[in-house]
Amino acid sequence: MTRCVDAGFRLDWRFPSVADSPTQPVRDDQETLTGKVALITGAAHRIGAEIARALHGAGMDLVLHYRRSALAADEIRHELESERAESVALVQADLHATAALPALVEGALSQFGRLDVLVNNASSFYPTTVGATTEAQWDDLMGTNLKAPYFLAQAAAPALRRTVGCIVNLVDIHAIRPLAGHPVYSMAKAGNAMMVCALARELGPEIRVNGVAPGAILWPEEGLSEAVRREILDRTVLKRPGSPRDIARTVLFLVRDAPYITGQVIRVDGGRTTQH
């Protein structure tokens, strides 16, 4: 294995690079994802890892981004390459380093020769209190949830045009109904939802742009009391939590099975947003 380090960006190689050459547009009648390539941010854990499993299982080669979770990312790579060798590359980057974002795309092209899908999954999530919010909190939440996805989409657009590819953003139901105690996060996700619509208009007709808005899928890592969890579930129609697989399958649908859908955000929330 060789390693390239440059400006806060590191791509770990495990096999020879493929020449970076233009590819032909995808034909409308092609339904297989075999041989196509997806770049997924925040892919080492939780929903990002499940999206990686779903797209890889459908035949895609993957470039998996992580920030600090090198061990977890390598475990996902090992898991997936046990099923199909030489199909996963890892890339480490701080998404706040805007100038380094084009290198993620360049790494995917150098490794696999093409890019078909960008999944903007990486996200910071924590409460902020009005009156005590810091500029660092604002920059972090807006950076990971809004700024980085936009500039990464901008960097990926030329490659995605060549393959008639698509972008999928992970949004949140709180983009339309703010979460108490999380004003900055909610505002950032609202911007992310508008990004889906705006980029669909700007990047079409070659590139489709859609979003997935999870509801009660995974509890925050810091934990919630059983009473609070029960209250959240009682406000869904289905009265139960979803799973990361529900999100991953929706992403797969948008990537593979929805050639005439763009500019849409699909809520995967068990009916939560039908309730007051």
Just list the catalytic residues. 185
Other beta carbons within 10 Å of 218: 15
Dihedral over Cα of 236, 238, 240, 244: its sign:
negative
- The CA distances from residue 155 to 99, 103, 105, 151, in Å, are 10, 9, 7, 6
The answer to whether 68 touches 90, Cβ cutoff 8 Å, is no
The answer to whether 242 touches 270, Cβ cutoff 8 Å, is yes
Residue carrying the six token digits 């990361």: 244
Q: How does DSSP classify residue 147?
A: I
CA distance 194 to 85: 38
Q: Find residue 228's DSSP bridge partners.
A: none
- Residue 42 contacts by C-beta under 8 Å, 6 or more apart in sequence? 48, 65, 66, 67, 121, 122, 123
